[in-house]
């Protein structure tokens, strides 16, 4: 059974992470299948925009930490976490968020061009609570779209922030009733898909260039301070503590 389901119709693609029992946590299979879905999106001239969502009332809980402790990484070389955070599609992407968008799940949402979220949805970068770092673009993108102090609070405390608060700052485009995020995203996507596909694609490219929203040089540069963290004993301890439902014992090594 596929971990990512796809739908292509009326100029719009819908990608659904389908691991509800794991809160749609991303493992290697999800990353590979999302990358393949993006490749199909890029090939198809009849599709000009995509929606990314999660099954079962949760967008994505981030990296599958149990898989991480087994040495499995949810990345695709050159594409990043989930197969798209470092190299999102050249066509616009909308994140339709229900429930939680945490850690890498939040970073998947931030890699989208637009976000539609249910009123009770929550976003967060809790990596620091696990001895890890938000390395999939969250630390690069948040300061571009939020005041620096608020971005720092979210990233350094690891505490969640609600969709309505992010809507106040323009991070979330549209707030819907609970359960209505995908329908809201479809409505927004239809408005964009009605426009000239070449113009839409070029417009996204220039917008991203203007703010360096997807800059491979930045992803390369951040590896200098971040790689030692992922190789540390604390990183393994944080993931194990989460899996074992206990408080971590940090050593600073």
Q: What are the angstrom distances between the C-alpha of 140 and each of 56, 110, 153? A: 29, 10, 14
Instruction: Determine contact, residues 15/42, Cβ cutoff 8 Å.
Output: no
For residue 23, report the phi and psi dihedrals to the nearest 5 degrees: 55, 35
The residues annotated as belonging to the active site are: 107, 127
Query: Going along 88-202, which residue ranges are E strands?
Result: 93-97, 100-102, 114-118, 122-124, 161-162, 174-176
CA–CA separation, 179 vs 201, rounded Å? 29
Instruction: Determine contact, residues 87/78, Cβ cutoff 8 Å.
Output: yes
Q: What are the angstrom distances between the C-alpha of 212 and each of 52, 81, 124? A: 22, 18, 22
Q: DSSP string spanning 130-157?
A: GT---TTTHHHHHHHHS-HHHHHHHHHH
CA neighbor of 93 nearest in space, from 188, 176, 221: 188
**164 sits in which H/E element:** helix 163-168
Instruction: Determine contact, residues 58/98, Cβ cutoff 8 Å.
Output: yes
């Amino acid at each position: 059974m596929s971990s990512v389901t796809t739908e292509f119709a009326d100029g719009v693609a819908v990608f659904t992470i389908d691991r509800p029992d794991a809160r749609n946590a991303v493992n290697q299979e999800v990353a590979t299948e999302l990358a393949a879905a993006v490749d199909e999106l890029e090939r198809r001239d009849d599709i000009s925009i995509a929606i990314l969502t999660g099954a079962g009332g949760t967008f994505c809980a981030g990296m599958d930490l149990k898989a991480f402790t087994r040495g499995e990484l949810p990345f695709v070389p050159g594409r990043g976490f989930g197969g798209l955070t470092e190299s999102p599609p050249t066509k616009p992407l909308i994140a339709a968020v229900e429930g939680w968008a945490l850690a890498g799940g939040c970073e998947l949402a931030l890699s989208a061009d637009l976000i539609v979220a249910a009123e009770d949805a929550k976003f967060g970068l809790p990596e620091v609570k696990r001895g890890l770092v938000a390395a999939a673009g969250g630390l690069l993108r948040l300061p571009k779209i939020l005041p620096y102090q608020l971005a720092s609070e979210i990233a350094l405390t690891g505490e969640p922030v609600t969709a309505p608060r992010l809507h106040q700052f323009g991070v979330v485009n549209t707030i819907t009733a609970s359960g209505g995020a995908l329908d809201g995203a479809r409505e927004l996507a239809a408005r964009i898909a009605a426009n000239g596909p070449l113009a839409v694609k070029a417009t996204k490219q220039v917008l991203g260039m203007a703010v360096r929203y997807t800059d491979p040089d930045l992803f390369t540069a951040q590896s200098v301070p971040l790689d030692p963290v992922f190789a540390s004993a604390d990183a393994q301890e944080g993931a194990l503590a989460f899996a074992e439902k206990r408080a971590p014992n940090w050593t600073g090594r």
